[in-house]
Amino acid sequence: MKKRTLGRSGIEIAPLVFGGNVFGWTVDQARSFELLDRFVERGFNAIDTADMYASWAPGLSGGESETVIGQWLARSGRRDEIVLMTKIGLLEQHKGLSAANIEVAVENSLKRLGTDHIDVLFAHIDDAQVPLEETLSAFNRLVKAGKVRTLGASNYSAERFQLALDVSREQGLARYEVMQPRYNLHDRQDFESGLAALAQESEIGVVSFFALASGFLTGKYRSIDDIQGNARADFLASYFTERGERVLQELLSVADELSARPAQVALAWLLTRPALTAPIASATSLTQLDELLDAVTLPLPEPLLARLNEASRGSV
């Protein structure tokens, strides 16, 4: 499988990243191990998580995903094969990107993950209350200490990401080599209006989250009635607009013509985007995981690609 390089970091990843938000939440340890084994056996190597996963769930406080991944790494002995990505800054106990928070949060993540280094450490969200110089200097110390190989930023605007690059350059600090934006066939405007050009011009790697729009692009929900009772019903309802239903219908049509799953087509579309390195996607069963991984080799002919692009034009 041809791997893709993350920015100027020299780190190479397969073109699909496993989203670890499900570990320790909707997937128990045993199933998590099965999924991670299959993921690596099929030639994939990048896993994304965060210290706050899955603090939103009743009875959980964060760190569950990192703990499960750490247990799997210890059992499998495959640490050297894995590009391990985690994010800090949103866990309530160490919220924000002050130097003090960063230092403690990273030490806690390393302990849970059972490793002496993180391959890609992300600022989970921008923190305008802390000077970029403080945040980037703290990250730079971690890189120099060998605890982090490269840096990234999630949920940053193009303007703030560019400012961070400027500060790093001016002060001789390690820069953000990777961005993690929300980007999928439906949610295109924010990324394509500024971040995409910045990524290409500055050679920044891009791993996108919400690749399947929280399930909207899987085709599981064909109408707003189908989401009733779903834990994410309020969020999913925002997709059932005139444009959203147009995108969904075209996606279903293309999937039918290709004899593929809608989720596979949605991921294959992302893999055609010139600025994107790899999307992040989660699975809770081996069947579901295999289907997602097969998207990497799904051909998307130009006429079908053009139809998807036409259907998803605009932001409303």
So which residues are the catalytic ones? 53
DSSP track, 73-114: HHHH--GGG-EEEEEES-SGGG-S--HHHHHHHHHHHHHHHT
Report d(CA 167, CA 175) in Å as an integer: 9
Contact between 264 and 295 (Cβ < 8 Å) = yes
For 185, half-sphere exposure in the C-beta direction (CA atoms, 13 angstrom radius) is: 37
Work out the number of other CB atoms within 10 angstroms of the CB of residue 285: 12
For the record, the structure tokens of 302 come out as 């130009």
- φ, ψ for residue 75 (rounded to 5)? -75, -40
Q: Give CA–CA dist 109/86, Å, rounded.
A: 8
The amino acid at 201: E
Cα–Cα distances in angstroms (integers) from residue 90 to residues 102, 133, 287, in the given order: 11, 19, 32
Answer whether 225's CB lies under 8 Å from 300's CB.
no
